[in-house]
Amino acid sequence: MKIAIDPYMFRALPIREMVRTVAELGYEYLELSPREDFLPFFVHPRADDARVAELKAALRETGVQLSSVLPLYRWSGPDEDERQAAVRYWKRAIEITVELGCPLMNSEFNGRPERAAESEAQFWRSMEELLPVFEREGVGLNLEPHPDDFCETNNPGVDLVRAVNKPWVNYLYCAPHTFHLSGDAPGADIPAMLDYAGDKLAHLHLADSFNHKGSSGLRYITNPPGSPARIHQHLDIGQGEVEWDAFFGKLRASGFDGIATVCVFAWEERARESSAYMLDRVTKELAGT
């Protein structure tokens, strides 16, 4: 089991200081998520050889290891020019990941839920181009459904991962998305969703969230009524409504031995305290203490 941190709340720090902060907090692993000077959201990577070397040096100096690299590109977007650009960005991101000596990348399905069939077709078109690159470079890939993607729910997301039919393409369960992953159900049967992922479950994202479907759908009122906005949070464990006893109990019972990334984004003003609390809580929960 590897417990990593997504250092997004520390993204304003220079790279070396960000890695030192992660080490000071006690984390052994880091999931490199988008930051403007390295792998920005949805545009071409900015990292050159010097910046990659700087990150490698910081990791070496602190002993922190990269568990995974997480880029986000519109590789399933219905617009073909945008999709082709995303594939180019992916190829450079894979190259950077290899230079960093990291064997794993995570990402989302992307695309548009209101154009799901077109977006899925674009996803497979991108897979045809990128799977040979991942395979050649020896880099694994974990995929997650995400609110406002063409695939937003657990079981169809697992099915898509299985359909790729590669042993090194696996599933990422994102706990703060639990109430979106469960679809139209008023609650969320976490053990059933984890069971459905089965042997494809390789990675977890850990943060809490409120059930936006609670109170007969009136927990959050949006105007105009019927807004398609997706609502969720990335809170400290215990601040939301994810059923953590069921979640961690299922993981312990199944002997989960993948990667668990802390991904709290809600508390930049207390990022250190939040990150330290999460490491302690997750470590104890996964150990059953």
Instruction: Work out whether the CA dihedral 180, 185, 188, 190 comes out positive or negative.
Output: negative
Q: How much of the chain exceeds pLDDT 90, in percent?
A: 90
Over residues 20-47, mean pLDDT = 98
CATH number at residue 95: 3.20.20.150
Q: Which residue has the higher pLDDT, 43 or 223?
A: 43
Over residues 100-114, mean pLDDT = 97
At 277, list the tokens.
């609390």
- What residue numbers bound the domain in which 221 lies? 2-287
The DSSP H or E segment spanning 170 is strand 169-174
Confidence bin at 114 (pLDDT 50/70/90): very high
Give CA angle at 131 (174, 153), nearest 5°. Answer: 25
> Rounded distance, CA 149 to CA 78, Å?
12
- Nearest C-alpha neighbor of 18 from the set 73, 50, 66: 66
Q: Return the half-sphere exposure (C-beta side, CA atoms, 13 A cut-off) of residue 7.
A: 29
**Amino acid symbol at 45:** P
For residue 218, what pLDDT is reported? 82
- What integer best gives the mean pLDDT of the chain? 96
> Rounded distance, CA 24 to CA 276, Å?
10
Beta bridge partners of 104: 140
Q: How much of the chain exceeds pLDDT 70, in percent?
A: 100
Residue 289 above 70 pLDDT? Answer: no
Residue 288 above 80 pLDDT? Answer: no
Residue 12 above 80 pLDDT? Answer: yes
pLDDT in tens, 172-189: 999 999 999 998 888 899
Structural domain total, the chain: 1
For residue 160, what pLDDT is reported? 98
Residue 106: C-alpha distances to residues 94, 137, 191 (Å):
11, 15, 22
- Ramachandran class of 246: left when φ > 0, alpha when ψ lies in -120 to 50, beta otherwise: alpha
pLDDT in tens, 222-263: 888 778 889 999 999 999 999 999 999 999 999 999 999 999
Over residues 123-147, mean pLDDT = 98
